[in-house]
Chains A and B, each alone.
Chain A
């Protein structure tokens, strides 16, 4: 027991192991397939939250348009599934059989040329990652090279989300408009609507999510991860150490976008449709709230954040539908004001010291309070190093003699 506790408090791998245990073992054993499918949907949002930990937590770049990339990945998958569902046999009552139903309703008589490649699953899978990455590259390159950052960048990403929503809704014949792409049935002949398919998709989502966490953990541990933290703190110092700061921002923006795309595709497979309502400004902001609640410096925390906020959303929107948006806003404000490091911060500040104290009952307990209220010479950066609840007494002592 003691050894287990030591491991739990000392290693970040333990955090990932506990998360894996919960989503792979505990939840499937305790929930029916309807609820588990909902969890699977939440976990596809967790990809976005994990991407935001890299982009926002590590890179310090707040994007309020991650729904765009989630949507692009989702649409890539939905287009493939829709084409498979629209074979001439099952669409023979349409005036033009063999094209998606919404195209037929919108008087299209031929499949648009850019839909053609999506007949092939490999193309759809590549597009699901590459299209978000390319858009992120273009937006990121244009913004970061011009040193647009902070609030201005957030506003521009919101504008991108709005533009894409308007585009999707306006081009009903090509995109399905407000209704989206619905009635998805099979993937390469495999029915995705059955309970067994839902189980398989759920576990595939879990596996990919854990792989994504490991990928991000690896990036964090490379020099690139250190540089992201350094850039967040002193961008000019990094630039005048010989780094092209914009390239690193573009990279992390693309990485986050690809994770969003993957999440979007898994979302479509589990929910069975895609629409513009997952692309716009409101869902994009909700995604930021997942990361904020979970803790924007913690990859594992972001997953818990996505799960909890979505559980809350489902619960409250079933019980008090009018109140949900207010509750969501209150949650965001509450998190930012009361515990800026999110759940991960709470864990590190309170739970971990408590575990440590139980382990060594005789030694002095580490100070469980996060930070003493001494005004530091620099403003404390929220969510900096969640692993150490360190005293922030400004050292005033003169250092050792220069050799």
Chain B
């Protein structure tokens, strides 16, 4: 009798990491594992297992066991400089083991994602900018250029990130705008706007 699933659907497809690793020789050290969720990218995303340690069984029933695994992570073609520890996400039923004869598909894929260069600074909100200028004038500081807001990015694990912050002299490739992007397909075409 076929199994009929009831309830909310999920995007995950695979097994928890423990179910894969526990059935392998030497707990699968040296094997490739992928997260199915990351296979939407054309660049290769995979993990090579370096070390495994099981966690105690969970207290609550019907929850999957967790594992601590040290892996060499490749995300969108970028290899991490340090080994990465997987722990809290290992219960997710989204891991798939790559058979040994298919490992070359991932290892030989040399595509690397393009790194976007993000701006260091941006404009203040217009009224706030005027406020700052007025305050500077009141303090007697000469206002040579419009004040700029230093942008803050999440710069943890920059190896994988698809972006980096522009250097002092560099021109950023991405603009921080809050409108519809011109590169988007949803951007109204000029002739349409003219007609309407």
Partners in one complex: no
B-side residues, CB < 8 A to A, are none
A-side residues, CB < 8 A to B, are none
